[in-house]
C-alpha cells in the first residue's frame, strides 16, 4: 500500500541549528499519527515542511504520490512556481500549537490533564483514552526520530534511555554493564533474606505515596539510581512496607527491555534541493 504522506531523508537547518536530520516517515490514509518530543526536537519544523511553510534543505516529501514543492529533473530537484505550491497546499492544512504544558508532568500526564480536571473523568479512563488516540506515535529527539510504533509498543517497549524517560512509567536501571527499562508496576520488592531468581538490587525504602488506586514506593538503591515500584492496594496491605525498610528490588527479566543510550537512526545521503 502506498503511503498518503511519504517523508524521505528530510533535513532542515536554521543557521547553525540542525532542526531535522534525515527524517523518514510513512503515514497511511486514515492513520492518526502523534508527533511527540521536547521543545526543539523537530516536530513543528517537520509539520511546516509537510505544509510547505518551510522548505527542506534536502530529502523529499510526497503527498498522495506527488512530490511537494519540487519537480525532479535528471535526478535533481527544482523548486516549483508559487502557483503550483499554492495548489499543493490546498490539500494539506495545519493547526498551530500552543505551549500550555506542565513541565513537571510526563507527556501522557499532560495529555490526560484536560479530561481529568475539566471533564471530571477518572484518571484510568482518561489514560486509556489518551493511549487510544493514535495509531502511530513518533517520538522525536534532536531532529531525528528516536522511536516510532503503536502507543502500546512505545509504552511497553522503549528502545532508548531517552524514550523510557520521556514516556514515563519506567525505571531506567543500569546493571552489569547494561541499562534496562522496567515498568514501575513490574518491580517487585523482596526481603533481603528472600530467595531471588533474577536481578537483585539492594536498597532502602525512602518514600511511600498513596495514589488512590495504587501505592507508589521509592527505593534508594545502594550506590545506584532511585527505583520506583507501583503496588496495588491489596499488594501493599499484604506486604506492609515502611519507610527505612531494607529491601531487594527485582523483576522478571523477560519483562525488561535492554536500552541503547540514544537512537541509532542513520540514512543514506539525501537528494540535494535546487531553487
Over the stretch 220-255, which tens digit does the pLDDT of each residue have?
999 889 999 999 999 999 998 999 999 999 999 999
**212-223 residue pLDDT tens:** 889 999 999 998
116 — pLDDT class (breaks 50, 70, 90): low
What's the pLDDT score for residue 224? 86
Q: pTM above the 0.95 mark? A: no
Better-predicted residue by pLDDT, 87 or 132: 87
Cα–Cα distance measured from residue 245 to residue 81, given in angstroms and rounded to the nearest whole number: 71
**Helix residue spans in the chain (DSSP H):** 43-50, 82-89, 107-117, 123-132, 151-156, 161-167, 233-239
What is residue 48's three-state secondary structure? Answer: helix
Mean pLDDT along residues 51-67: 93
**Secondary structure element (H or E) that encloses residue 25, with its range:** strand 17-27
Backbone Cα Rg of the chain: 23
Grid coordinates representing 190 are: 523482596
**Contacts of 124 by beta carbon, 8 Å cutoff, 6+ apart:** 213
- Mean pLDDT computed over 59-63: 93
Q: How confident is the model at residue 28 (pLDDT cuts 50, 70, 90)?
A: very high
Identify which of 196, 153, 203, 143 has the alpha carbon closest to the alpha carbon of residue 9: 143
Report residue 125's pLDDT band, with 50, 70 and 90 as the boundaries: low
* 31, 72, 94 from 63: Cα distances, Å: 14, 15, 14
Among candidates 37, 42, 44, which has minimal Cα distance to 17?
42
- What 3-state class would DSSP assign to 68? coil
pLDDT above 90: residue 188: yes
Amino acid at each position: 500500500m502506498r503511503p498518503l504522506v511519504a517523508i524521505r531523508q528530510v533535513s532542515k537547518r536554521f543557521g547553525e541549528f540542525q532542526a531535522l536530520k534525515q527524517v523518514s516517515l510513512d503515514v497511511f490514509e486514515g492513520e492518526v499519527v502523534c508527533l511527540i518530543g521536547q521543545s526543539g526536537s523537530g516536530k513543528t519544523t517537520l509539520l511546516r515542511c509537510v505544509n510547505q511553510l518551510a522548505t527542506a534543505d534536502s530529502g523529499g516529501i510526497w503527498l498522495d504520490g506527488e512530490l511537494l514543492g519540487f519537480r525532479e529533473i535528471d535526478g535533481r530537484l527544482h523548486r516549483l512556481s508559487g502557483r503550483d505550491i499554492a495548489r499543493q497546499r490546498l490539500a494539506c492544512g495545519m493547526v498551530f500549537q500552543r505551549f500550555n504544558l506542565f513541565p513537571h508532568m510526563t507527556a501522557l500526564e499532560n495529555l490526560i490533564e484536560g479530561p481529568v480536571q475539566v471533564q471530571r473523568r477518572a484518571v484510568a479512563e482518561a489514560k486509556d483514552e489518551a493511549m487510544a488516540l493514535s495509531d502511530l506515535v513518533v517520538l522525536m529527539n534532536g531532529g531525528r526520530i528516536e522511536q516510532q510504533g503503536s502507543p502500546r509498543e512505545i509504552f511497553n517497549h522503549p528502545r532508548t534511555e531517552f524514550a523510557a524517560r520521556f514516556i514515563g512509567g519506567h525505571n531506567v536501571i543500569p546493571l552489569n554493564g547494561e541499562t534496562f527499562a522496567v515498568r514501575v508496576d513490574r518491580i517487585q520488592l523482596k526481603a533481603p533474606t528472600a530467595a531471588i531468581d533474577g536481578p537483585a538490587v539492594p536498597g532502602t525504602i525512602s518514600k511511600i505515596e498513596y495514589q488512590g488506586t495504587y501505592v507508589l514506593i521509592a527505593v534508594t538503591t545502594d550506590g545506584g539510581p532511585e527505583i520506583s515500584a507501583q503496588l496495588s492496594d491489596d499488594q501493599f496491605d499484604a506486604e506492609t512496607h515502611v519507610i527505612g525498610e531494607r529491601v531487594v528490588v527485582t523483576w522478571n527479566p523477560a519483562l525488561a527491555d535492554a536500552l541503547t543510550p540514544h537512537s541509532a537512526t542513520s540514512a543514506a545521503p539525501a537528494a540535494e534541493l535546487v531553487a
